[in-house]
Structure 1
Amino acid sequence: MASLNLGLSLSRKKNVSRNAAVERKNLITVCRFSVKTLIDRSCFETIDDSAPEFLNFASILEQILSHRLKGQLTWFGYESPRSFWDYIRVACSKVSHSCICSIENMENVSSSRAKGRAWIRVALMEKRLSEYITAALRDYKTTRRFYDDGAIVLGEEANMLAGMLLGLNAIDFSFCLKGEGLDGSFPAVIDYTPYLKFTQSSDSISSDEEELRTLGSSGSESSTPENIGPPFIMDENSWYNKCKRVEQKYRLALEQKGYLEELVRLREVQLSDSVSQSKLLTQRIKDIDLNHKLEKEQLEYIIVELQDQLKSFQSLGHLSADASLSQISFDAGQSQDGSGKQDSSHLSEGKEETPSLLGLCGSLTSVASYKSLTSLKSSECLASPTTEMTSPGLTPS
């Protein structure tokens, strides 16, 4: 019983190692295909975030760098998930003139996975992605500390990866570091559809039908008693081989069917998310339009009130101008009357010495007084009327 359990554990380990080797080989092969498609696409147009070839390449590279990545141990002994950016940040810290510090200080990128995706884009625009990968792989202690056994970066495939990425230096990339591609909440999904090749033709269909026909005929012949002996053994071997081939084809078709179903499911999830986001955006646009209409109505109401106030201010200005004009005319009339009275009083009292003031202030009362004033002007030394009245031997004229 112990030997049986030991054999089962050994077989499980062999299966796990074989699956890991197959996974590493598939990822490297798909990465080579994606690099080739990127180079072919760059001959016709500029590569940016909207190119499906780049999105697929970024997902493949993220899967390669995250292959068998160790988790981070907490104080309580639990293992939390870790992103490949933690490894790149430490392993590429000694690269001269690197973009590690600038990406670490980016404000719009918060999660570790989003920073790793931003690093891939910046390294491609700098044409230094192969240099960063080579420098990280040279730091074997750091690589060993971050990855488990069987990881791609710890195997021989890592050198192949650095060589493949060297061809991307001939491409001019143009990326926006504020787009949805940097969102760390969505996992990296690889689309294997461009690399699948379905070569099922009429010849293959006819060969499958022939194999099935031969299988049926061999089964019917084996049921007869004449087929006992060596021919029966040969027919059994050929039947077994043909069954194995059909089984392999069936498993391959089943795996492709499962992959396509999973791809359809992912596309349906993405479609439902897009529909919900479009509904939210539509509702937001409606709310914004409603707010704009309300603000427009309020502004129109304010403009009408301001126009009414301006009209009232203009009418009040006209009234105040008329009132000021009337007040000025009234004051001028009063000033003329008062000046006439004052001049007459000055003339009667004899306090005014020059007749020019009488002409400016008001009209004269009589021509006789005007003549007496001109006669007074002709004398060089004029005496005041009061002195003339008081001086002895003089009588008033």
Structure 2
Amino acid sequence: MASLNLGLSLSRKKNISRNAAVERKNLITVCRFSVKTLIDRSCFETIDDSAPEFLNFASILEQILSHRLKGQLTWFGYESPRSFWDYIRVACSKVPHSCICSIENMENVSSSRAKGRAWIRVALMEKRLSEYITAALRDYKTTRRFYDDGAIVLGEEANMLAGMLLGLNAIDFSFCLKGEGLDGSFPAVIDYTPYLKFTQSSDSISSDEEELRTLGSSGSESSTPENIGPPFMMDENSWYNKCKRVEQKYRLALEQKGYLEELVRLREVQLSDSVSQNKLILQRIKDIEVNHKLEKEQLEYIIVELQDQLKRFLSLGQLSADASLSQISFDPGQSQDENGKHDTSQLSEGKEETPSLLGLCGSLTSVASYKSLTSLKSSECLASPTTEMTSPGLTPS
């Protein structure tokens, strides 16, 4: 009985380990397919939150980082659930110029799972998701502290994960960190339907399945799913199917060739139009330069004419001033006024020396008083002091 129980426990452990290995392989393989679909989608349009390929990739990456993640022990010994953001926040804290602090301080993101989803989007926009994953995996002590045995990040698949994510650096992502995709209340659900292909007959395998199998085996032999399909049966039906596929590829190539030729033709037409427009613009520039030159010459001629007129006006003004001065110099009344003023100034200067003379003779400021003085001087009514001194015996009449 004891041996039976031991055998059952061993078989149960083997089944658990085998299921864990299958789960790891499936997650890594599906992650590789999702990266390939993202790269193919980016060739036609920008990847944002509405792209189903990105939503599926984010769910797959969240499942990988949450695979066998340990819970957090409380004071009472209970284990509370934990998000992969708690591991990323500690393991990537030493990455230079990281976005960990900015995401930790985001106001509109409160839950730990929402912060982890925001970190995935910011790392993709920074083209540093592979760098963050590599830095976290190098911190083996922290990784062992957060994950149980059998986790993907503790196995050989972790190195493959960092290599796969390196191809996402060639894609330009555009995300909004305030959308519904950051809601931490919804779990991450993976859609496997885009990576599955069903055939009607078991004798043939489509080229898409072959591509999936080659992509699954490109990383390592351990990551390839076993027994994908039956072996090839080289019969007429298989040859016919192969010819059909080749014909479809040929038609697709022809359509792409026609599309590219039409695109080249349109570009040539646009180039010819731009060349003609460039010629017209150059001709307009030349005409404008000629007009500016003519206007400049006209303005210079006008300036010269104005200068000549100004010189003539100044010369006429000088001549009129000289003529007025000459008229003033030949005016006798003005000369008399000037002489009167001159005499007045002289008298005013000698006023302090002979004050009694002004009292006797009166004011000499006018020409009439000067004439009266001369008349009195010429008459014989007044005696000359010289005569009185020379002939004291003479008496006035």
TM-score w.r.t. the length of structure 1 is 0.52
Indicate conservation of the 8 Å contact 2:114/2:182, yes or no.
Answer: yes
Indicate conservation of the 8 Å contact 1:350/1:386, yes or no.
Answer: no
Indicate conservation of the 8 Å contact 1:215/1:242, yes or no.
Answer: no
Indicate conservation of the 8 Å contact 1:95/1:132, yes or no.
Answer: yes
Say which is worse superposed, 210-219 or 44-53, in terms of deviation.
Answer: 210-219
Say which is worse superposed, 212-221 or 61-70, in terms of deviation.
Answer: 212-221
Q: Report the alpha carbon displacement of residue 374 of structure 1 after superposing the two structures with TM.
A: 53
Deviations 1:250-303 (A, max 9, x none): 999999999999999999999999999999999999999999999999999999
Output the CA distance in 1 between the equivalents of 2:218 and 2:241: 12
CA RMSD after TM alignment: 17.6
The 1:342–1:321 alpha-carbon spacing in structure 2 relative to 1, beyond 3 Å, is closer
Indicate conservation of the 8 Å contact 2:217/2:224, yes or no.
Answer: no
The 1:227–1:270 alpha-carbon spacing in structure 2 relative to 1, beyond 3 Å, is closer
Indicate conservation of the 8 Å contact 1:351/1:385, yes or no.
Answer: no
The 1:212–1:279 alpha-carbon spacing in structure 2 relative to 1, beyond 3 Å, is same
Say which SS state the counterpart of residue 352 (structure 1) adopts: coil
Output the CA distance in 1 between the equivalents of 2:266 and 2:318: 77
Output the CA distance in 2 between the equivalents of 1:330 and 1:82: 121
Output the CA distance in 2 between the equivalents of 1:268 and 1:379: 125
Deviations 1:115-152 (A, max 9, x none): 00000000000000000000000000000000000000
Indicate conservation of the 8 Å contact 2:91/2:136, yes or no.
Answer: yes
The 1:277–1:333 alpha-carbon spacing in structure 2 relative to 1, beyond 3 Å, is same
Deviations 1:345-387 (A, max 9, x none): 9999999999999999999999999999999999999999999
Say which SS state the counterpart of residue 273 (structure 2) adopts: helix
Say which SS state the counterpart of residue 209 (structure 1) adopts: helix
Say which SS state the counterpart of residue 381 (structure 1) adopts: coil
Aligned length: 397
Which residue pairs with 2:299 in the alignment?
Answer: 299
Say which SS state the counterpart of residue 324 (structure 1) adopts: helix
Say which is worse superposed, 381-390 or 48-57, in terms of deviation.
Answer: 381-390
Indicate conservation of the 8 Å contact 2:48/2:174, yes or no.
Answer: yes
Indicate conservation of the 8 Å contact 1:46/1:173, yes or no.
Answer: yes
Indicate conservation of the 8 Å contact 2:130/2:162, yes or no.
Answer: yes
The 1:198–1:288 alpha-carbon spacing in structure 2 relative to 1, beyond 3 Å, is farther
Q: Report the alpha carbon displacement of residue 304 of structure 1 after superposing the two structures with TM.
A: 71
Q: Report the alpha carbon displacement of residue 173 of structure 1 after superposing the two structures with TM.
A: 0.1
Output the CA distance in 2 between the equivalents of 1:370 and 1:217: 142
Say which SS state the counterpart of residue 204 (structure 2) adopts: helix
Say which is worse superposed, 299-308 or 96-105, in terms of deviation.
Answer: 299-308
Indicate conservation of the 8 Å contact 2:361/2:373, yes or no.
Answer: no
Q: Report the alpha carbon displacement of residue 17 of structure 1 after superposing the two structures with TM.
A: 0.1
The 1:201–1:261 alpha-carbon spacing in structure 2 relative to 1, beyond 3 Å, is farther
**Larger Rg belongs to:** 2
Deviations 1:184-203 (A, max 9, x none): 00000000000011012385
Say which is worse superposed, 320-329 or 253-262, in terms of deviation.
Answer: 320-329
* Structure 1 ranges of 4+ moved more than 6 A: 204-397
Say which is worse superposed, 332-341 or 176-185, in terms of deviation.
Answer: 332-341
Deviations 1:28-68 (A, max 9, x none): 00000000000000000000000000000000000000000
Deviations 1:286-336 (A, max 9, x none): 999999999999999999999999999999999999999999999999999
Output the CA distance in 1 between the equivalents of 2:284 and 2:71: 40
The 1:101–1:333 alpha-carbon spacing in structure 2 relative to 1, beyond 3 Å, is farther
Indicate conservation of the 8 Å contact 2:103/2:119, yes or no.
Answer: yes
Alignment of 1:186-197 (within 5 A): 186-197=186-197
Say which SS state the counterpart of residue 226 (structure 2) adopts: helix
The 1:197–1:355 alpha-carbon spacing in structure 2 relative to 1, beyond 3 Å, is farther
Output the CA distance in 2 between the equivalents of 1:101 and 1:219: 34
Q: Report the alpha carbon displacement of residue 180 of structure 1 after superposing the two structures with TM.
A: 0.1
Say which is worse superposed, 154-163 or 272-281, in terms of deviation.
Answer: 272-281
Indicate conservation of the 8 Å contact 1:74/1:80, yes or no.
Answer: yes
Indicate conservation of the 8 Å contact 1:350/1:384, yes or no.
Answer: no
Say which SS state the counterpart of residue 257 (structure 2) adopts: helix
Indicate conservation of the 8 Å contact 2:328/2:334, yes or no.
Answer: no
Output the CA distance in 1 between the equivalents of 2:107 and 2:359: 88
Which residue pairs with 1:110 in the alignment?
Answer: 110
Q: Report the alpha carbon displacement of residue 172 of structure 1 after superposing the two structures with TM.
A: 0.2
The 1:320–1:175 alpha-carbon spacing in structure 2 relative to 1, beyond 3 Å, is farther
Say which is worse superposed, 90-99 or 348-357, in terms of deviation.
Answer: 348-357
Q: Which ranges in structure 2 are unaligned for 5 or more consecutive residues? A: none
Indicate conservation of the 8 Å contact 1:49/1:55, yes or no.
Answer: yes
Indicate conservation of the 8 Å contact 2:62/2:84, yes or no.
Answer: yes
Say which is worse superposed, 300-309 or 11-20, in terms of deviation.
Answer: 300-309
Report % sequence identity. 96
Indicate conservation of the 8 Å contact 2:85/2:116, yes or no.
Answer: yes
Indicate conservation of the 8 Å contact 2:70/2:147, yes or no.
Answer: yes
Say which SS state the counterpart of residue 284 (structure 1) adopts: helix
The 1:369–1:159 alpha-carbon spacing in structure 2 relative to 1, beyond 3 Å, is same
Say which is worse superposed, 189-198 or 213-222, in terms of deviation.
Answer: 213-222
Indicate conservation of the 8 Å contact 1:71/1:81, yes or no.
Answer: yes
Deviations 1:144-171 (A, max 9, x none): 0000000000000000000000000000
Output the CA distance in 1 between the equivalents of 2:266 and 2:78: 31
Indicate conservation of the 8 Å contact 2:213/2:224, yes or no.
Answer: no
Indicate conservation of the 8 Å contact 2:127/2:168, yes or no.
Answer: yes
Q: Which ranges in structure 1 are unaligned for 5 or more consecutive residues? A: none
Indicate conservation of the 8 Å contact 2:203/2:232, yes or no.
Answer: no
Output the CA distance in 2 between the equivalents of 1:111 and 1:228: 40
The 1:203–1:176 alpha-carbon spacing in structure 2 relative to 1, beyond 3 Å, is same
The 1:368–1:293 alpha-carbon spacing in structure 2 relative to 1, beyond 3 Å, is closer
Bigger relative contact order, structure 1 or 2 (CA pairs below 8 A, ≥6 apart): 2
**Is it true that 1:66 corresponds to 2:66 in the alignment?**
yes
Output the CA distance in 2 between the equivalents of 1:275 and 1:189: 54
